[in-house]
Copies of this chain bind each other. A is one copy, B any other.
Amino acid sequence: MITIRRLDISDAYLLIAGARDKAREIGVPMCIAVTDESGQLIAFERMDGGKVTSTTIAIDKAFTAAAAKKATHEYGAASQPGNPTFGIHSAIGGRLMVVGGGLPVAVDGEVVGGIGISSGTPTQDLQCAEAGIAHFLAMR
């Protein structure tokens, strides 16, 4: 038998709060998704003005990061043409995201969930994902 630890809903809202604050600071309304360690959605927020296309993209970034235990921008680097991971971006019906903005959420070295952000540039999305995790780790 395996015992796992995962984010609860109050953790998810801490992650969203941190990401939202950063999104406001940089002036880009974001879609923010949080999943558990299996990649299943726990909470989602589309800030007013967040892109409709980014709903699915944010959810899939969080899914990828949590379930693969890997930041989506790392997949982006690894899957460039010429690399052996090339082509992975259309896996799982296109759900495996290789664009930055998805991060695994780890506690004590263990992945307990994922956060995915979309609506800005990959750099902005990643920045908000990092802010979400920093807020969660500081406040929990």
Give the B-binding residues of A (Cβ under 8 A).
1-9, 11-12, 36, 38-48, 51-57, 60, 63-64, 67-69, 73, 75-76, 79-82, 84-94, 96-100, 107, 112, 121-123, 140
Give the contacting residue for A99; candidates B2, B47, B86; CB below 8 A.
B86
Chain B proximity of A136: nearest CB distance (Å): 11
Chain B proximity of A3: nearest CB distance (Å): 5
Q: Look across to chain B and name the residue whose beta carbon is closest to the beta carbon of A4.
A: B4
CA distance A97 to B88 in the complex (A): 7
Contact (Cβ within 8 A) A40 B57: no
Q: A4-B3, A6-B4, A69-B51 are in contact. Are A94 and B91 (CB under 8 A)?
A: yes
Q: Which residues from chain B contact A85 at a C-beta distance below 8 Å?
A: 99, 121-122
